[in-house]
Amino acid sequence: MDEAGAQTTVGGKQILPALAPRPDVQGLRALAVCVVIVGHAHIAGFTGGYVGVDVFFVVSGYLISTLLLHEATSTGRVRVGAFYARRARRILPAAGLMLAVTSVFAAVELPWSRVPAIVGDSRWAAFFLANVHFSQVGTDYFEQDRATSPVQHTWSLAVEEQFYLVWPLALLLVFWLFARRRLLVTRIVLVTAWSASLVWSVFLTDRSPVAAYFSSATRAWELATGALLALAGHQLSRLSAWARHVLVVLGMAAIAAAVGWYDESTAFPGWHAALPVAGAAALLAAGAAGPVGAGRVLTLPPVRYVGDISYSLYLWHWPVLIMGAFLIGHRPDVRQTAALIVVMGAVSVLAYHLVENPIRHQRLPGLGGLRGLALWPVVLVLVLAVSGGAASYAQRRFDSRFQAGAEEQLDPQLAVHHTRGASGRADLQLPDPDVGSLIDASLVDADHRRPIAFPLANFKHLGRDLWQTKFDCYAGWEDRKVRLCPRGDRRATRTVVLYGDSHAGMWLPPLDLLGRRDGFRVIPLIKLGCAPFDVKQLHGGAPLPACPPFRSWALDRMRVLRPDVVVVAYRGLLEVVAPSGQSVEEAWRAGARTSLRDIATFTPRVEVISDITSLDFSPGDCLTAPRSNTASCTQRQQSVTETGNDLTRDAARATGARFIDVTGLVCRRKRCPLVVDHVVTYRDPWHISLTWSKVIAAELGRRLRLQG
C-alpha cells in the first residue's frame, strides 16, 4: 500500500495509480490556454505565449498515459477500441463543429480567393494531418504570401492524435511480449523515444525551423514527458512537502520565463522547448499528492472553470482572432482585441455546454461504449460535406458578382509578337503601351471608387503568374550555388548577369524578352531571400547562413564570366541585422557600397534596379473581398521602400554604378493601383505578376539601355 492507501501490487505485479480528479491540472490547462490566447492576441509581455501548447502536450501525455497505464497494469491489457471511442467523444464533435462553422463563415464573409485554401486546410485538419499540411505550406517559399489560416492551430491536435495512434498500440505490444518485465520495458521504450525525439527536435529546428515546429516527431518527447510522469505516479505521491513547494515555484517561474522571454525569433521547439516542458512537469509532479503552496491558485473555482472549457477556448480562439482581424481590416487595437476575446469566450462557453460536454459524458443516446467510434466517420463526412458546400457557395457568389467564367485575353497591343526579319532570324515585337498613362487612368478610377472591372487578363491564373513558373534556375533556402541557365539570346556574345534575390528574379521574364529581341544572353544568379549586398539577414527571425557563401560563389561566377553588364536588384532592408554600433540603414548602405564595388571589378557596367513598394494586402484577397473596389485595392508607396532606394542610390553613386528608378512602372505619384488596363500588376504582396512584367518590358528596356 502507498501513503494514499491505494493498492500498488497484485500477484507481485505493480499497479500504477488510477486517473483521479486533479483540480490543479484543470488550473494548469487554464494557464496554458490563457497564455496561448494572449500571445496570439499580440498582448505586450506575452510574446512567448505559444509555449502554452507545449504545456498542453505535457498535461495530455500525463493524463492519457495515467489512464492507459493503470488499465494495463491492473488488467494486463489495453482496450484500444474503448480508448479510441473515448478520444472520439472528447475530440471530434467540438473540433468538427469549429471546422464546419469556420468554412461556412469564410464562404460568406471572406474573399473568394481565401475560401479554397481554408476549405483545404479544414479537410486536412479533419483527417488530423494539419501539421503535415502546414509544414509543407510553411516551408514553401512561394506560399509565403498565403494568408494565415483560421484553422492553423489544429496542427497541435494532429500531433496529439498521431501520438495517441501509436502509444496505446505500443503499450499493448509491450505488455503482450514482456509480461514479466512489462514496466521496465515500457520505461526503456519511453526513454528511448523521448531521447530520440528531443535529439531530432534540436537537429531539425536548426536545419528547418518550420518543419520542426509542426512535426510530431519533434514534439513526441513533450508528450512522452507526461507519460514518464505517469510511470512515476507512486514516487511522485511520496515527494516531501518541501520538494513540492520548490517544484511549484520552479515550475511557474519556468513557464513565466518562456512566455515573457521567447518570441517569434526564438528557435523553437529545440532546446528552448525544455523550459516550458520542464515547468509543466514540475507543476504536475508537485500536485500529485494534492495542491501545495502557490499551486493552490490553480485550484480556484474560476480558474478550474477556464480549465474545463480550455479545449473549446483553444478551438475557437484562433478562428475568431484571424477572421476578426480580417473583417476589421488591420491588426486589432486594444479595445478591438478585448471585444474579440469576449466573442471567443462566449462562443467557447456555448460550444462546451451544448456540444463538447454532453457528448463527452455520453448524455446523448447512441454514443456510449464502442459506439463512440462511429463519430470518426460521421464527423469526417460532415466536415467534408459542409466545407464542400461552402466552397461551392463561394464560387457561385464570385461568378455572379465578377463574371469570372470567361478569361479575357490580353489586348493585341499588349501581346508579344514573333516575326522573322530579312536575315531569317526570329524577331520579337514587344508590347509598348504608355505605362504612365495607363496607371494614371487606373488612379482616376480609384479616385471615383469605381468597381473592379472584371474579367481580368491574368486573374484566374494569378497563383501561377510569377516568374518561377517559367524560370526555375534559382537557389532555394539551403542552396549555396545554382546551376547556370542562360536566357535571352543564348547564342549571343554579349552577356548580362542578373544578380539578386526574388526581387531580381521578377525582372527575369522581361530581360529574357529583351535579350531575345536585342541580342544578348542573360545569366540569372538568383537566391531567394538573400540580398545581393554584404549584409546579415534573417528569415522569420532565424539566420540565413547560406547567404554569404552564395554571394561569394556569385562573385566567383562573375569573375569567370566577365559579363558586359551586371544588373542588380533587391528587396530593400529585408530583415537586416546591423552590427554593434551601426543602424540598419548604415549597415545596408555600407553593405551595398562594398558589394557594388566588388562587382564593378568584373564588369564595365553595373545597373542597379530600384525596389518597388510592397502591398499591405494580398492581391487575390483584395480583388475578391465582398466590399472591395479600385480605391481599396490601391496601395500607398511605403516609406521603407523609399528609404531602401535612397540608401542604395547613395551606394551606387559612390561606386560608379547607375541607379535606375523603376517605381514608375507600377506607381504614379506614390500610389500603386493593383489593376491597370485589365491586368493585375502584383502576383503577391511583394512581386509583380509575370503578365505585367511582360507589359512593361519595352519601357524597362529603354531605362536599362541594353541594346547593342
Residue 73 CA: distances (Å) to CA of 34, 70, 144: 35, 5, 49
pLDDT over 80 (residue 122): yes
Hey, is 352 helix, strand or coil?
helix
Hey, is 259 helix, strand or coil?
helix
Give the model's pLDDT for residue 385. 97
List pLDDT tens digits, range 605-640.
999 999 999 999 999 999 998 888 999 999 999 999
Give the model's pLDDT for residue 417. 56
Give the model's pLDDT for residue 189. 94
List pLDDT tens digits, range 516-536.
999 999 999 999 999 999 999
Q: Is the pTM of this model over 0.75?
A: yes
Give the model's pLDDT for residue 150. 95
Mean pLDDT of the chain: 90
Give the model's pLDDT for residue 365. 67
Q: Are 88 and 372 in contact (CB under 8 A)?
A: yes
List pLDDT tens digits, range 383-419.
999 999 999 999 888 887 665 444 445 454 555 655 5
CATH 3.40.50.1110 residue window(s) in the chain:
435-704
Give the model's pLDDT for residue 4. 39
Q: For residue 544, which of 482, 480, 498 has the smallest C-alpha distance?
A: 480
Q: For residue 499, which of 599, 384, 354, 357 has the smallest C-alpha distance?
A: 599
List pLDDT tens digits, range 336-345.
999 999 999 9
Query: Of the given ranges (98-102, 143-147, 353-357, 548-552), which has the lowest mean pLDDT?
Result: 143-147
Cis peptide before 524 (omega within 30 of 0): no
> What's domain 435-704's architecture?
3-Layer(aba) Sandwich (3.40)
Query: Of the given ranges (202-216, 338-352, 490-504), which has the lowest mean pLDDT?
Result: 202-216
Positive or negative CA dihedral for 579, 581, 584, 588?
A: negative
Q: How far is it, in rounded angstroms, from Cα 265 to Cα 534? A: 22
Give the model's pLDDT for residue 626. 83
Q: For residue 463, which of 671, 303, 621 has the smallest C-alpha distance?
A: 621
Give the model's pLDDT for residue 636. 95
Dihedral of the alpha carbons of 169, 130, 530, 586, in degrees to the nearest 10: -110
- Alpha helices for 297-447 (secondary structure H): 301-308, 310-328, 334-351, 357-360, 375-402, 435-447
- Residue 422: which pLDDT band, with cuts at 50, 70 and 90? very low
Give the model's pLDDT for residue 8. 63
448 burial level (CB within 10 Å; 0-12, 13-18, 19+): exposed
- Residue 427: which pLDDT band, with cuts at 50, 70 and 90? low
Task: Name, in order, each residue with C-beta under 8 angstroms of 88's C-beta and a sequence gap of 6 or more.
Answer: 372, 373, 374, 375, 376, 379
Residue 422 CA: distances (Å) to CA of 419, 425, 427, 491: 10, 7, 10, 19
Task: Name, in order, each residue with C-beta under 8 angstroms of 130's C-beta and a sequence gap of 6 or more.
Answer: 121, 124, 151, 152, 154, 155, 157, 158
Residue 464: count of CB within 10 angstroms of its CB = 14
Query: Of the given ranges (22-26, 126-130, 144-148, 698-702), which has the lowest mean pLDDT?
Result: 144-148
Q: How far is it, in rounded angstroms, from Cα 633 to Cα 674? A: 6
